[in-house]
Amino acid sequence: MTGSVIYERLALIGLGLIGASIALAARRQGLVKNIVGYTRTAETRAIAQSLKIADSYPASAAEAAQGADLVVLATPVGSFRALAQEIAPQLKKGATLTDVGSVKSTVIKDVGPSVPAGVHRVPGHPIAGTEHSGPAAGFATLFEGRWCILTPPAEADEAAVARLESFWRALGSSVERMDAKHHDMVLAITSHVPHLIAYNIVSTADHLAQVTSSEVIKYSAGGFRDFTRIAASDPVMWRDVFLNNKDAVLEMLGRFNEDLSLLQRAIRYGDGNTLEEVFTRTRAIRRSIIDAGQETAEPDFGRHAKDPLSASKK
């Protein structure tokens, strides 16, 4: 099943899980004619080459961006400012510059000022991923049935935004437009704070003296292992997310802590009613997520048949 070409030349700055998946999906759907891939290290480039992710691999991001119709920044968000400054002089008039960063307000501030007039700047964020990273983690169906959020500035060119929307739809996603600040608040609670908490509980377990690591590992089926999946996500990407979405994360974390204090107090004073009431309410939310098609009752979140790394590492 191939669609019509949406962008002649696609430049991917970064060929990790997301960049590689965009390349594989765009080629499979026939959405681009040519894919240029830039990656910082020779090691990653060699992997990408062996997997035939892109058609060519220039030595610099600037060279990769040259003449491209769509440039996608797909590196950790902390690198965006320098990358934008580097590639700006090479961006061709009429090109669209987008990104896949998990934070949007700071990214707009970091990237916006470098973008020359005549280049369309449309920030984006596909809500899709796995705990694996690198080019080998990419797969063509990653975005199918997932949401992609675009946060175009008020002055954005409607035709350019609509074109990028059609690209994401052709990759299999549903697209929503949103204000950047609101995006950062939504993602703080649905993604950033959950990751922080998962990293934290795994770290707490790792520090215990009374309970050994081997006990934690042995008995992890009791609940702990559910947290370890997302706590295995890319450390640099997530460091940058937290540094760049500080305000929204601290706000949501404050609420999380208040709510946790309530449960902690209920445990201390033996208030079973409060515990049961909270635990009953949360059950309904999972049902809603399953009904919305963002989850299945299957414990694999419907990714079982899709993610090749998961399947091959059995």
Residues 48-77 that bind a second copy (CB under 8 A): none
User: In angstroms, what is the minimal distance from the CB of 115 to a second copy?
Assistant: 25
Could you say which of 6, 87, 128, 156 contacts a second copy (CB under 8 A)? 128
Residue 86 found at the interface with a second copy (CB under 8 A) = no
Q: How far is the CB of 295 from a second copy (least distance, A)?
A: 5
d(CA 59, CA 282): 50
Alpha carbons 290 and 301: distance in angstroms, whole number: 9
Site string for a second copy, 168-207 (x = CB under 8 A): --------x-----x--xxx-xxxxxxxxxxxxxxxxxxx
149 binds a second copy (CB under 8 A): yes
- Enumerate the β-bridge partners of residue 70: 10, 96
Q: Which of 51, 88, 115, 216 binds a second copy (CB under 8 A)?
A: 216
CB 29 within 8 A of CB 171: yes
**What is the sign, positive or negative, of the torsion defined by CA atoms of 216, 222, 227, 229?**
positive
- The shares of helix, strand and coil residues in the chain, as percent rounded to the nearest 5, are 55, 10, 35
| 227 in contact with a second copy (CB under 8 A) | yes
Instruction: Provide the minimum distance between the beta carbon of 195 and a second copy in the complex, in angstroms, as a whole number.
Output: 5
What is the torsional sign of CA 91, 95, 99, 103?
Answer: positive
- If one asks whether residue 117 binds a second copy (CB under 8 A), the answer comes out as no
Residue 2 in the binding site for a second copy (CB under 8 A): no
Per CB under 8 A, does 275 bind a second copy?
yes
Binding status of residue 213 toward a second copy by CB under 8 A:
yes
What's the one-letter identity of residue 15? L
